[in-house]
Copies of this chain bind each other. A is one copy, B any other.
Amino acid sequence: MRQLKRREFLKTSGFLVFGGLPLRFSAAQGGAKGSNGLSGSTRRILEGHLATVENHLNNGIIPFWFARALDTQYGGYMTNFDEQGKALPVPEKYVNTQCRLIWWFSTLHRRFPQMPKAADMANQGVDFLIKHFWDEKYGGFFWKVHRDGSELDSAKIVYGESFCIYALSEYYLATGDRRGLDYASRTFDLLQKYCADVQHGGYIENFLRDWCPEAGGFAGGDRKSLDTHMHLMESFTTLFAASREDVHRRKLLEVVSLICEKMIDKTSGCGLNQFDLAFRSIPAIAIKRTWNGERLGEQPPDPVDTTSYGHNVEMEYLMHLALETAHQDLTPYKPIFRRVLDHTAEYGVDWEQGGIFRDGLRATSKPLVLEKEFWQHSEALVGFLDGYELFREPRYLEAFGKVWQFVQDYMIIKGVGEWRTLLARSGKPIDPNIGNPWKVAYHTGRSMLESRERLRRLLSS
C-alpha cells in the first residue's frame, strides 16, 4: 500500500529518488486525490506560483550557492555575502551553517540527481565537518571553528548537533556514503546518553565540550525550547528515513508528543518559546549561542506571552512530515495543524503590506515585532501550502500569495538571486546584505524546493 503510493508519487512528482525515501510519501493523505478538484482560477493561481518559484529556484538560489558556497582556500563553505553577492569575511564557521549547506547540496543531489557537482559540493563539506568539527575525545561536533578549521568554540549545543544529524542523514540518502549515516547515528546516540532528561522528558540543550551541562541563564543550561525540540523532530525524521531503525522512529514520535503536550499553548494553539527543565513556560531570554532576546523597546507586557509566527508554521509542516515518515495516522494532529495555521494566517500575516511579522502576542493576538525577517517568510510559504494541501482552506493559499508576493517584491535581490535578511514592515532594507553567518540556503532554498513540490502535487491532483 505504502509502496504503491510511493510509486504513484514518484511517477507524478517528476522527482527521481536515490538511496532512500522521498521526502513525502504521497499527496493523498491530505485531501482525497481527485475528489477535491481545483477550480480553473485556483489552477491558474497555482500555475503562476509554480512558475515564479521554479524561476527563482533555477535562476536564483541554486546558481547563487553553486557559484559562491565553496571555500576554495580551506574547504567547507563560505557563508557571508553582501547585497551584490560578493563574499564577506568568514571569521567563524558555525556547525549549523556548515551543515545547512551540506544538507542543501545533498538534497539537491537527491532531488535532481542529474545535476552536476551537487554531490561533490556536499562531499567536501562532509570532509571539512568530520575533520574539523568532530570531537575525537568526547564525541559530538564542536559549535564553531575558525575559517581554517582551527578550534574556536568546542561547546556541544543540541541545536547544532541536530543539524549535523539532519545534514548527514540527507547526505547519506543522497549519496549512499556510509559516513553520513554512521556519524548521524553516533550523534543521535550521544544525545540520548548525555542530553535526554530522564527526569522530566525532553532534551537539555546546552553543554560544555565534555557533555557536562552548561551553566543556567545566558548559557542556557537550565532551559528547554520549542526551537531546539522542533529541529530535533526535523533531524530525527530524516535520520529515520535514512536508517529505518525502530529506535530513531520511537524517539521521533516521543519528541512529537512532547511538543504537542508541553510546548503548545492550549488556549491559542501557538507554540511557546522557552521552558525550564520541568517544561514550565518562562520568559524567553537571550541564550548565548542560539537565541536572541526581544529587541529593545519591544518587550511584551507579559514576558511569556510571545510566540514566533515563523516557528509556528515551520512546526506544522515539520510535524506533518514527521508523522507521515513514521506512518502515523494524521487525524489526531489535524486540529493542532489547523489552529496554528489559522492563528498565523489571522494575526501573523500582514494583510495590508504583505509578508509576515516577526513575533506576536498570544493572549491578545497582536503582532509585537513588525519587522520582516527572511526565515519566517521562508517557513510561512511551506507551512501555508502544506495546510492548503491538507485542508484545501482558501485562506491559506491567499496567505501564501501575500507572503510570496512580498518576498518577490522586497526580499529577493533582483539579478543576484538570494534574499535580504531583514526589512522594515514596509519592505525597506534594515540589513541590506544577503548573508548572516546562520542564513545560507537552508530556509530560502528549502522553502522553494518544498513549495515547488507541493504546488506540483496540487496541480497533478
A→B interface (CB under 8 Å): 189, 192-194, 196-203, 210-213, 246-247, 250-251, 254-255, 257-258, 261
Contact = CB atoms under 8 A, between A and B. Distances in A.
A212 B246 contact: yes
A438 to B, nearest CB: 26
A213 B246 CA distance: 10
Contact of A199 (B194, B201, B247): B201
Nearest to A189: B193
A330 to B, nearest CB: 19
Contacts of A193: 189, 192-193, 247
Nearest to A249: B212
A260 to B, nearest CB: 10
Contact of A198 (B203, B210, B213): B203
Given A197-B201, A199-B255, A199-B261, 8 more contacts: A189-B189, A189-B193, A192-B196, A196-B196, A198-B203, A198-B258, A201-B201, A210-B246
Contacts of A254: 197-199
A198 B199 contact: no
A247 B194 contact: yes
A113 to B, nearest CB: 33
A201 B200 CA distance: 5
A211 B189 CA distance: 14
A199 B257 contact: yes
Nearest to A211: B247
Contacts of A201: 197-201
A240 to B, nearest CB: 14
Contacts of A192: 192-193, 196, 198
A212 to B, nearest CB: 5
* Most B-side CB within 10 Å, residue of A192, A194, A212, A213: A192
Of A202, A251, A261, most buried by chain B (CB within 10 Å of CB) is A251
Nearest to A201: B201
A235 to B, nearest CB: 14
A202 B212 contact: no
> What are the 7 closest A-B residue pairs judged by CB atoms, nearest first?
A199-B254, A192-B193, A198-B254, A201-B201, A199-B257, A192-B192, A196-B198
B194 A198 contact: no
Nearest to A202: B198
A255 B211 CA distance: 19
Nearest to A256: B199
A244 to B, nearest CB: 13
Nearest to A194: B247
Contact of A258 (B194, B196, B199): B199
A64 to B, nearest CB: 38
Nearest to A200: B201
A162 to B, nearest CB: 14
Nearest to A250: B213
A306 B197 CA distance: 29
A271 to B, nearest CB: 17
Contacts of A211: 246-247
Contacts of A246: 210-212
Contacts of A194: 247
A210 B250 CA distance: 14
Contacts of A202: 198
A211 B257 CA distance: 21
A201 B261 CA distance: 14
18 contacts: A189-B189, A189-B193, A192-B192, A192-B193, A192-B196, A193-B247, A194-B247, A197-B198, A198-B202, A198-B251, A198-B258, A199-B201, A199-B254, A199-B255, A199-B257, A199-B258, A201-B201, A211-B247
